[in-house]
Amino acid sequence: MVESSARGYVPIADYAAIGDARTVALVARDGSVDWLCLPDLDSPSVFAAVLDAERGGRFELRPDVPAQAQRRYLPDTNVLETTFTTAGGIVRITDAMALPSRELGPTRELIRQVDGIAGEVPMRWSVTPAFGYGAVPPRIGRRGRVPVAIGPRDALAVCSWDAGEAQIDGDAIFGRFDAVEGGSALIALCAAHQEPLVFPRREHVQARLKATIAYWRGWAAQRAYDGPWRDAVIRSALALKLLFHAPSGAIAAAATASLPEEIGGERNWDYRFCWVRDSAFTLEALLHLGCPGEAEAFFWWLLHASQLSHPRLRVLYRLDGGERAPERSLELHGYRGSRPVRVGNDAAAQTQLDIYGDLLQTALIYTDAGGRLDPETGRRLAGIAELVCRIWHEPDSGIWEVRSRPQHFTHSKMMCWIALDRAVRLSEAGHIPSGRASAWRREALAIHDFVETRCWSDRLDSYTRHAGADELDASLLLGVLLGYESSAPGRLPATVNALRRELGRGPLLTRYSGDDGLQGTEGAFLCCSFWLADALARVGQLDAAGELMTELTVLAGDVGLYAEEVDPRTNELLGNMPQGLVHLALINAAVSIGKARGG
């Protein structure tokens, strides 16, 4: 039931994402846009009510009376349709971030169309922008009849048609109207960044909405996937496309910052960056989905971004390829009091050895799919293999970016082995220079020996979280997924079983046992659960994999999106959303199970 009074925070699962491959808006079930950064996904927010219900800013649009909300994405699109049923009638809101057209349009445009379906429904809308993560109050005024909100670099115009008279009250622009059966109202939030505002005509806004729906349908229709859980896979593909940064080809890990891993806790991170550790999964998923253009763009963006720090890799890069992502805390209340609210991410400067394996695995996937590497790129990849030979024996912060002291994480060592193994394979195929291939083989053997002797526990019947530890880590599943070759064939299947036994909470999997240098707890990481389904399929436990996938697919929000985690006690979604790695893991697990079934 949608209350007509002002509200605080809604469950994270109540958010649907709309976007244009430049930025993403989160629309709550009650019709409030509570998150929007302009002009790009990683820019400061103009709406951040999800992080501060009082000061964050939002764009509300809803019935002015109690209503039941039902919603869905228009089939095969990133356009959201919310239907409100009230005592007096039914009204439908269609929300989209418009794609640009040949007509002169705003820099970014959030379109909200309100259609009266039955009876008469009193509606209210209110735009309360707060630039710069709520730190910069807007100057509200008018240009002619059109209300505008002006910030230092950005400006918003609220253009409305048949949506009541737009009024101004302090920091809010608002209106009321009655949605009557057969009638249609339109509100366009038109953003300008470092340029004058553009005030569009109604017919152009409507045409862009229609073209945006057609674009998404066309894009989804081109996806090649025809295996199990097709709806969930296509929804995941559409969610990933939202996280694309169109100018560069980078893919953000998630659309939000600082949605908490624990309600009221401190594990609140900014995920609006591209992580190297996701690269192999990303390329694999894009190729499975039949997205060669996006795959090509992503691969070359990754190589360009990592060029400046060669041969070292940064853990993450900004969407424009930049390296700096300084972390700072904002003066915001935080989602249900979860502080600090961080933007930027200090993990960028951590040492994580696994990312070298991810990059070389990505290069192998790219070349196996027919991609070609130029000689300069080949030399760079060979240089990275040389670096791995020098640094693999150092401790690191591991894939989970723990803030406790560095360790010899088993997954990191496995990925170093994968890095050198893939370098050898690339050199054998003539993609990278082969002069040092014998040295890479030698070091790969040394890494393998380290993992097999120091990172295995007979007691646990599993590889361990790090050398000499008695703890487990779900990242060990990646050894199965990415093709680590153990000395005995039973070790990887035994590890899969041990992880399920020790870290499993129903269908869910916690990340690890042991310390990570942070206070509090966290939910179960959904990507680990999908990795488990994938690993089960690969080690021959196909029925268990299928059952697990079915259980996991019902944990998505009502429109099919996942946040980073689930609280195993309540099944509440936690963390940033929509989370790219979870959707990538879902796609790859569905493909693995389909293949194992002979599809």
Partner 1 sequence: MSVWAALAGGFVGTLVLTTALRAANELGLTRVDLPFLLGTVVTRDRARAKALGYLMHLAAGEVFALVYYAIFAAIDTSGWLLGALFGLLHGIVAVTALVNVLLPVVHPRMGSELSAADSSPLLEPPGFLMLNYGRGTPIATLLAHIAYGTIVGGFAA
CB neighbourhood size of 554 (10 A): 9
Euclidean distance between CA atoms 495 and 196, whole angstroms: 59
Q: Give the shortest CB-205-to-partner 1 separation in angstroms.
A: 10
Inter-CA distances, 9 with 51, 151, 263, Å: 8, 26, 12
Q: Give the shortest CB-495-to-partner 1 separation in angstroms.
A: 51
Residue 157 or 532: the one with the smaller Cβ distance to partner 1 is 157
* Upstream peptide bond of 311 is cis (omega within 30 degrees of 0): yes
Q: Give the shortest CB-197-to-partner 1 separation in angstroms.
A: 4
Give which of 546, 419, 423, 402 is closest to 482, Cα–Cα.
Answer: 419
Residue 208 or 267: the one with the smaller Cβ distance to partner 1 is 208
Residue 62 or 112: the one with the smaller Cβ distance to partner 1 is 112
Residue 151 or 575: the one with the smaller Cβ distance to partner 1 is 151
Residue 148 or 548: the one with the smaller Cβ distance to partner 1 is 148
Q: Give the shortest CB-25-to-partner 1 separation in angstroms.
A: 21
Residue 30 or 154: the one with the smaller Cβ distance to partner 1 is 154
Q: Give the shortest CB-211-to-partner 1 separation in angstroms.
A: 15
Amino acid residing at 125: W
Q: Give the shortest CB-164-to-partner 1 separation in angstroms.
A: 14
HSE of 377, CA atoms in CB hemisphere, 13 A: 21
Residue 277 or 318: the one with the smaller Cβ distance to partner 1 is 318
Work out whether the CA dihedral 492, 493, 498, 503 comes out positive or negative. positive
**Binding interface with partner 1 (CB under 8 A):** 100, 102-105, 143-146, 148, 150, 152-155, 157, 159, 161, 192-202, 204
Euclidean distance between CA atoms 341 and 331, whole angstroms: 7
Euclidean distance between CA atoms 210 and 62, whole angstroms: 22
Q: Would you say 240 and 584 are in contact if contact means Cβ atoms under 8 Å apart? A: yes
Inter-CA distances, 272 with 268, 304, 319, 320, 398, Å: 12, 19, 8, 11, 20
Q: Give the shortest CB-104-to-partner 1 separation in angstroms.
A: 4
Euclidean distance between CA atoms 574 and 523, whole angstroms: 7
Task: Tell me the CA end-to-end span of the chain in Å, nearest whole number.
Answer: 43
Residue 152 or 468: the one with the smaller Cβ distance to partner 1 is 152
Q: Give the shortest CB-299-to-partner 1 separation in angstroms.
A: 26
Give which of 355, 134, 253 is closest to 575, Cα–Cα.
Answer: 253
Q: Give the shortest CB-199-to-partner 1 separation in angstroms.
A: 4
The residues with which 193 forms a beta bridge, in sequence order, are: 154
Q: Give the shortest CB-48-to-partner 1 separation in angstroms.
A: 19
Euclidean distance between CA atoms 520 and 529, whole angstroms: 21
Inter-CA distances, 578 with 10, 216, 256, 504, 560, Å: 15, 18, 8, 23, 10
Euclidean distance between CA atoms 389 and 420, whole angstroms: 8
Using alpha carbons only, give the angle 332, 61, 71 rounded to the nearest 5 degrees: 100
Q: Give the shortest CB-154-to-partner 1 separation in angstroms.
A: 8
Residue 208 or 583: the one with the smaller Cβ distance to partner 1 is 208
Q: Would you say 70 and 83 are in contact if contact means Cβ atoms under 8 Å apart? A: yes
Residue 199 or 215: the one with the smaller Cβ distance to partner 1 is 199
Residue 144 or 370: the one with the smaller Cβ distance to partner 1 is 144
Q: Give the shortest CB-196-to-partner 1 separation in angstroms.
A: 4
Tokens of 569: 């006690």
Amino acid residing at 487: S
Euclidean distance between CA atoms 553 and 563, whole angstroms: 13
Give which of 277, 258, 400 is closest to 328, Cα–Cα.
Answer: 258
Residue 106 or 504: the one with the smaller Cβ distance to partner 1 is 106
